[in-house]
A = this chain, B = another copy of it.
Amino acid sequence: MSAAAKIEVGVLGATGVVGQHFVALLAEHPWFRLAWLGASERSGGKRYGELPWRLAAPLPGDAARLEVKTPDPDEAPKIVFSALDASVAGEVEKEFASNGHIVLSNARNYRMDALVPLLIPEINADHLDALALQKKRKGWSGAMVANPNCSTIFLAMALAALREFEPERVMVTTLQALSGAGHPGVSSLDATGNVIPFIAGEEEKIENETRKILGEFRGEEFESAKIGISAQATRVPVVNGHTEAVSVGFRKGVKTEEILAAFERFSGKPQAKKLPSAPVRPIVYLDGADRPQPRIDVERFGGMAVQVGRLRECPVMGHKFVLLGHNTIRGAAGAAVLNAELMRAEGLLN
C-alpha cells in the first residue's frame, strides 16, 4: 500500500507507556499512518519528541515531529486508538465515538458494556456484529471496540484453544509485570525484591471479561460463557510479561496430548486473513521444563503470541499449565492494533 493510500489514525493518551507502544507499533504499519497524537492539556502543544520516551525501541522520527494535541474530536482522524487512563477514558472515548470516530479502546470503561464488543480477533471476530446495534441504541455516529485487560487476553486465548473440550472451571494465579501499572506506576520501594499480592480490580476483570469474550453475541445481547473462573493477581518485579499459572477443569474428558495438539493448531481470522500484526501462531508451546520465562521469552514473536509451557495433569481439576504474554503489546497496544486490522479486513473502517 502506498503511503498516500494508508489510513490516517490517531492515538489518544499518547504519552503513557501504552501510548508509546501504540506509536512504536504504528510507525511502520503497512495499512495505517500515524497522523495525530492526543494527550492531556499538560503535554498539549509540545512536539512528541520533546516528551520523555521510555521504550527500548527508538522513538520513530515521524512521530517525534508531530505536535501533541488536546483531545478534540474535530481535529482527530476518524480512526483513533485510545490508551487513555480509565479516569478520563469514559467521557473522552464516548465523545469521540458519538462524533463519528471509530475508537479502539484499551481502557476498562466500556469493556463490559452490553453494546461494546470485547474483541480478540482469534476468538470472537463475530462479536463485531454488535456494532450495528451499538450504533442504533447508543445513537453514536462512530463506533467503539474494546480490547480486554492484559491478563484476560492471555487466559482467554488459552481457553479458546481448548473450547472443544468445554472448559468448566478455571483457577488462575497471575504474576504481573511492573509495566502493567504504567509510569510512574508502582514505586520502586514497593517493587524491589518483593511481591505485592493485590492489583486493584484485576481479579474481577479476569473473571468477568473472559466470560464475555468466550460467550456469544445473540443478535440483541452478549451471553457470557458458562465458565467458573477464579483469579488471584500478584505484582512481581519483572519489567514486561505477565506469567499465569492456570488450572482448567473440562466438561469433556481430554488427554494431555489432545490439549497440546489443540494449543498448536489454534488459529483464527488474523491468521487466515494474514493481518499484518497477527502472529503466525497465536499460541506457542515451549518444551523447556522451566519455560516460558518473562525476561527471556517475552519479546519473541513480536510480543503478539501467547507462550505456554509445563502442561500436565492437575490432581484437583483437569490440567494445569503456565502461560506468558507481553502485557503492553499483545495485552494492550498490539491488541487494539490487531482489532483495527480485523475491522479493516472486514470493511468496518470505511
Residues of A within 8 A of B (CB): 17, 54, 56, 58, 169-171, 173, 175, 178-179, 183-198, 207, 228-230, 232, 234, 236-239, 243, 245, 247, 289-297, 299-300, 309-310, 314-317, 320, 322
Residues of chain B contacted by A310 (CB below 8 angstroms): 197-198, 232
Residues of chain B contacted by A170 (CB below 8 angstroms): 316
**Most chain B C-beta atoms within 10 Å of own C-beta, residue among A170, A184, A197, A299:** A197
The smallest beta-carbon distance between A287 and chain B, in angstroms, is 11
Identify the closest chain B residue to A184 (Cβ): B187
Q: Give Cα A316–Cα B290 distance, bound, in whole angstroms.
A: 28
Contact B239 A237 (CB under 8 A): no
Contact B230 A193 (CB under 8 A): no
Contact A192 B245 (CB under 8 A): no
Q: Give Cα A56–Cα B190 distance, bound, in whole angstroms.
A: 12
The smallest beta-carbon distance between A237 and chain B, in angstroms, is 5
Copies of this polypeptide in the complex:
4
Additional A-B contact list (15), CB under 8 Å, known A56-B297, A171-B247, A207-B315: A54-B189, A169-B317, A175-B234, A184-B189, A186-B187, A188-B188, A190-B293, A193-B295, A195-B293, A197-B291, A197-B310, A197-B322, A230-B317, A232-B320, A234-B245
Residues of chain B contacted by A317 (CB below 8 angstroms): 169, 171, 230
Q: Give Cα A253–Cα B291 distance, bound, in whole angstroms.
A: 39
Q: Give Cα A187–Cα B169 distance, bound, in whole angstroms.
A: 37
Contact B190 A315 (CB under 8 A): no
Q: Give Cα A243–Cα B237 distance, bound, in whole angstroms.
A: 14
Known contacts A188-B190, A230-B315; is A197 also within 8 Å of B237 by CB?
no
Contact A187 B189 (CB under 8 A): no
Contact A189 B197 (CB under 8 A): no
Contact A232 B193 (CB under 8 A): no
Identify the closest chain B residue to A240 (Cβ): B193
Known contacts A170-B316, A173-B232, A247-B230; is A188 also within 8 Å of B197 by CB?
no
Q: Give Cα A277–Cα B179 distance, bound, in whole angstroms.
A: 32
Residues of chain B contacted by A293 (CB below 8 angstroms): 190, 194-197
Q: Give Cα A193–Cα B290 distance, bound, in whole angstroms.
A: 16
Identify the closest chain B residue to A200 (Cβ): B289
Q: Give Cα A295–Cα B243 distance, bound, in whole angstroms.
A: 21
List the 10 shortest-distance A-B pairs measured between CB atoms, nearest first. A184-B187, A188-B191, A173-B173, A198-B290, A194-B295, A232-B245, A230-B316, A197-B322, A173-B245, A186-B188
